[in-house]
Amino acid sequence: MSVIAVSPAVGSFCITRSAKMVSRPRVVMAVGSNTISGASILTKLQKDCATPLPVLRHVVDAMADDMRAGLAVEGGSDLKMILSYVDALPTGNEKGLFYALDLGGTNFRVLRVQLGGKEERVISTEFEQVSIPPELMFGTTEELFDFIASGLAKFAQKEGGKFHLQQGKTREIGFTFSFPVKQTSIDSGILIKWTKGFAVSGTAGKDVVACLNEAMKRQELDMRVSALVNDTVGTLAGSRYWDDDVMVAVILGTGTNACYVERVDAIPKLQDPSSTSGRTIVNTEWGAFSNGLPLTEFDQQMDAESINPCEQIFEKTISGMYLGEIVRRVLLRMAEAADLFGHSVPEKLLMPFSLRTPDICAMQQDTSKDLEEVGSVLYDVAGVNSSTNARKIVIDVCDTIAKRGGRLAGAGIVGILQKMELDSKGLIFGKRTVVAMDGGLYEHYPQYRRYLQEAVTELLGPEISRNIVIEHSKDGSGIGAALLAASNSKYGHDI
Ligand code: BGC
């Protein structure tokens, strides 16, 4: 497999340090003697972030209620409950050469796969990944899509070896576009809004497949988008290819979202319930959930200064783009009000998003007596020499924020499962049900993963939770999108 440029080891779930947030001018020297201690700020933080069982149960019920309200009418709740137009999941019979294109975070990926049907399955795959230059996240639609189309064109030129396109056919693409899109068919959809720090002008309200087609035309690239899918939907399709029990897919990376298999008769807003399988995939866009979350003043400030205030509150509480930034805000308060790093406030700590989620994750893995790794991250990121005591407090802050995020994510998953269980009367909890997970936050942050699993077990009890398998599906979304391109091929499938 070839890779042109990969993001840093634990790094794919964070935006770059140059993220555009409004920063306030600040006094760098602390003035006078501080009477508040770091420990007291920590105690208040832990109290405000606490997620005891009643809080989690509230999130479970509110998530299930919001799902129902979003399925009833368009705009019925915070959760958009977007219909994916994916009514049939891959069967294993898919054959031929297909491409996938994945745009959704700091990287964009292109992939090709040669499918060999039930016998040979995935004969070969190849992918390349490139980081999105930060300026393109704030540029124009044409600039972003030209960048993508040119990456795709370069990748397509290198096709050879085990990859063969049947004569007379056009190369088909599954386009994973991981932002809220109002699907208008399996191969078209209108961007509702950007998330995850993207603020590209002129795309909201446009069909993103048309944007890609125009850019491909400018590159003289003759390829066709056969399926436009969210990354959650790609993950569900990719995992289902190997395991029939997969019913839910969740992304916990830079951003977060979940999709699941829904019965068409449980979707009142569906105008054409003609799905042959009687089921369809619903993209919840759960990042917009906000009901009853334990939020702190740090969350509120971060939200107010973000490029999308009052939006994506669940995402801002549990996803990789934001966990490091929340910790930075707490540490800054501790430095200003409690002299955590001595009498002056480290200037670098004033910069929004300077502390990234991979940094807090790395600090939490430090088991040394003097917390040397914590010291070196703090030195690199904030330019401070820290005492062992200060480092211990920093670890506790990281743990508090990761714990809240992981447990709330777990409650979100149980909310979806509970909704499915109540509607299907026993078909979820009474048998093996798999939740496919992807995203760098879930993959690389062991404490976060543990907190998530613990919350699921606490909520469901030991017996039911034995039936609920939370499984990491690495990079399933790329193959999933290619499989959906195959099952929605204009040449028909099973050929
Ligand atoms: C987007 C979703 C996406 C998720 C994970 C969110 O910000 O709104 O569409 O699935 O991130 O990538």
Mean pLDDT for the stretch of residues 452-481: 94
Tokens of 264: 């068409």
- Residue whose CA is closest, atom 9 of ligand 1? 179
- What count of other Cβ atoms lies within 10 Å of the Cβ of residue 210? 14
What confidence score (pLDDT) does residue 68 get?
98
Q: Tell me the per-residue pLDDT of 90-143, one tens digit each, with 9 for 90 and over.
A: 889 999 999 999 998 888 999 999 999 999 999 999 999 999 999 999 999 999
- Residue whose CA is closest, atom 11 of ligand 1? 255
**Do β-strands 433-438 and 246-252 pair in parallel, antiparallel, or remain unpaired?**
parallel
Q: Who contacts 167 (Cβ-Cβ below 8 Å, separation ≥6)?
A: none
Q: Average per-residue pLDDT in the chain?
A: 91
- If one compares 50 and 10, the residue with the highest pLDDT of the two is 50
Pairwise CA distance, residues 261 & 275, whole Å: 13
Residue 300 alpha carbon to ligand 1 centre in Å:
21
Mean pLDDT for the stretch of residues 327-341: 96
- If one compares 277 and 77, the residue with the highest pLDDT of the two is 77
Residue 243 has pLDDT above 60, yes or no: yes
Q: Ligand 1: which atom is nearest the Cα of residue 315?
A: 7
List the beta bridge partners of residue 185.
Answer: 188
Pairwise CA distance, residues 79 & 270, whole Å: 15
Q: Which residues of 256-266 are buried (b: 16+ CB within 10 A; e: fewer)?
A: bbbbbbbbbeb
- Residue whose CA is closest, atom 3 of ligand 1? 178
Which among 405, 463, 475, 462 is positioned nearest to 436, based on CA atoms? Answer: 475
Q: Which of 178, 194, 248 to mutate to test the pocket of ligand 1 (most atoms within 8 A of CB)?
A: 178
Q: Which residues of 347-368 are buried (b: 16+ CB within 10 A; e: fewer)?
A: ebbbbbbbbbbbbbbbbbebee
* 231 carries an active-site annotation: yes
* 196 carries an active-site annotation: yes
**Do β-strands 279-283 and 82-83 pair in parallel, antiparallel, or remain unpaired?**
antiparallel
Q: Tell me the per-residue pLDDT of 288-329, one tens digit each, with 9 for 90 and over.
A: 999 999 999 999 999 999 999 999 999 999 999 999 999 999
196, 316, 403, 419: the catalytic one is 196
What confidence score (pLDDT) does residue 11 get?
34
One-letter amino acid at 15 equals I
CB 100, CB 113: distance < 8 Å? yes
Q: Ligand 1: which atom is nearest the Cα of residue 231?
A: 10
